[in-house]
């Protein structure tokens, strides 16, 4: 087969593009210790024992000398949310590492903080491969995370859509009263417990518990309320601020008290807004690990679950007003 026309080359490239791959960033350091990296989809596994991987680097790459001289490299399998980073590392010569979180690995290659899988490798072989060099590395350490990978197919980025498994695995062992970690209700509860941790920690740092927080949130929507009315509004949460807790909040300046009625004091409102901001910031950080499509789909599924499991919804949860 000849590749003597641009058209023939394009057709060959298109045929190769039929093979769907992940996307990686390969990194190393140059003679001055500066970080170097390129986007590479040619990564693949070679051997389990010894653990070997390979990828190929274009001979005209500006990073070629660094990769061949260093004797080590790191491979980062990118997450679905790292398309911009992939594009950045695919542009020759740019300051690719600006604003990218990384640290130096044990062999000297820069290790990026975000990835689905990361392999630190000592270069074992270099093979001639036409207009590329084939680098084979022995993996000295690796780390993998349960995140959606970025894919590349037909010259475009793509996202994984797993096929449903033919036989769903049983999630609840009724005989022993146990459930597996793919039991949806377990996942929803645990995700809530873990994602609300920054909020709980912020409150604890101010000497407040969930009951006090919910009192602040409820009073921000409806005030004044008596201790009894607050208890009614919060009964479903299992977090009830008792009379002593409310008086304590009033005396520490979080609430105002007029007769039996409690209302938010300015300090209480500030504390509530600060706590909500911590939750928002945690959500924004979490979102960096997912694509916009994944977030939208997760919200859609959760809204549908809420709709289907509806029934008698306590006031605090309505219209997204819930504070926890
Ligand atoms: C999805 C994708 C996959 C790529 N795969 C490879 C690859 O496997 N090997 C390679 O040498 N270049 C690959 N490239 C191109 C390099 O990332 C690009 O040429 C880069 O600019 C080289 O950087 P440098 O010249 O600064 O070394 C790929 C680019 C993209 C967008």
- Encode the chain (324 residues) as per-residue pLDDT tens digits: 777 899 999 999 999 999 999 999 999 999 999 999 999 999 999 999 999 999 999 999 999 999 999 999 999 999 999 999 999 999 997 789 999 999 999 999 999 999 999 999 999 999 999 999 999 999 999 999 999 999 999 999 998 887 877 665 656 666 777 766 778 888 999 999 999 999 999 999 999 999 999 999 999 999 999 999 999 888 888 888 888 899 999 999 999 999 999 999 999 999 999 999 999 999 999 998 888 888 988 998 898 888 888 755 665 555 554 444
| Segments in the chain forming alpha helices (H) | 6-16, 64-70, 83-89, 184-195, 197-205, 210-221, 227-234, 243-251, 266-287, 292-308
Mention every residue, 6+ apart, whose C-beta is less than 8 A from residue 97: 35, 37, 110
What is the 76 CA–ligand 1 centroid distance (Å)?
Answer: 14
Say if pTM beats, i.e. exceeds, 0.75.
Answer: no
Virtual torsion, Cα 314, 317, 323, 324, nearest 10 deg: 80
Beta-ladder partners of 121 = 73, 139
What is the 39 CA–ligand 1 centroid distance (Å)?
Answer: 5
Mind listing the pLDDT tens digit for each residue in 258-282? 999 999 999 999 999 999 999 999 9
pLDDT, position 324: 41
Ligand 1 atom nearest the C-alpha of 64 is: 27
What is the 154 CA–ligand 1 centroid distance (Å)?
Answer: 16
Q: How many CB atoms lie within 10 A of CB 215?
A: 31
CA angle 296, 116, 43 (to 5 degrees): 125
DSSP labels, 190-203: HHHHHHTHHHHHHH
Report how far residue 318's alpha carbon sits from residue 8's, in angstroms, rounded to the nearest whole number: 61
Closest residue to atom 13 of ligand 1, CA basis: 40
Question: Please, what are the domains in the chain?
Answer: 13-159 (2.30.110.10), 184-320 (1.10.10.10)
Give the DSSP letter of residue 4: -
Q: How far is CA 95 from CA 67, 99, 110, 225, in A?
A: 17, 10, 14, 58
Place of tokens 């789909």: 297
Q: Which residues line ligand 1 (CB under 6 A)?
A: 23, 38-42, 55-58, 61-63, 86, 89-93, 152
Structure tokens at 252: 């520490």
What is the 58 CA–ligand 1 centroid distance (Å)?
Answer: 7
Helices (H) and strands (E) in the chain, counts: 10, 16
pLDDT, position 271: 93
Give the DSSP letter of residue 304: H
Closest of 47, 50, 41 to residue 19, by C-alpha: 41
Closest residue to atom 23 of ligand 1, CA basis: 92
What is the 90 CA–ligand 1 centroid distance (Å)?
Answer: 5
pLDDT, position 168: 58
């Amino acid at each position: 087969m000849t590749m003597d026309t641009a058209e023939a080359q394009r057709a060959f490239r298109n045929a190769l593009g039929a093979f769907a791959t992940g996307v990686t960033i390969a990194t190393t350091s140059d003679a001055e210790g500066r970080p170097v990296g390129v986007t590479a989809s040619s990564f693949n596994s070679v051997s389990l024992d010894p653990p070997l991987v390979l990828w190929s680097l274009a001979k005209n790459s500006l990073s070629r000398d660094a990769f061949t001289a260093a004797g080590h490299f790191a491979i980062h399998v990118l997450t679905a949310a790292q398309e911009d980073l992939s594009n950045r590392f695919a542009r020759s010569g740019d300051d690719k590492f600006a604003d990218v979180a990384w640290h130096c690995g044990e062999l000297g290659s820069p290790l990026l903080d975000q990835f689905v899988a990361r392999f630190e490798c000592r270069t074992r072989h270099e093979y001639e491969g036409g207009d590329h060099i084939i680098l084979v590395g022995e993996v000295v350490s690796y780390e993998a995370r349960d995140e959606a990978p970025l894919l590349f197919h037909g010259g475009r980025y793509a996202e994984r859509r797993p096929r449903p498994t033919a036989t769903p695995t049983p999630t609840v062992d009724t005989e022993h009263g146990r459930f597996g970690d793919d039991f949806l209700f377990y996942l929803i509860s645990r995700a809530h417990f873990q994602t609300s941790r920054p909020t709980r920690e912020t409150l604890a740092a101010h000497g407040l518990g969930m009951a006090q927080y919910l009192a602040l949130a409820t009073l921000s929507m409806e005030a004044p309320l008596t201790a009894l009315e607050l208890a009614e509004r919060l009964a479903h949460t299992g977090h009830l601020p008792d009379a002593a807790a409310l008086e304590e909040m009033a005396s520490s300046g979080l609430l105002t008290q007029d007769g039996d009625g409690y209302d938010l004091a300015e300090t209480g409102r500030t504390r509530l807004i600060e706590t909500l901001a911590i939750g928002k910031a945690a959500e924004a950080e979490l979102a960096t690990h997912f694509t916009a499509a994944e977030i939208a789909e997760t919200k859609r599924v959760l809204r549908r679950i809420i709709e289907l499991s509806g029934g008698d919804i306590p006031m605090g949860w309505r219209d997204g007003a819930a504070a926890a």
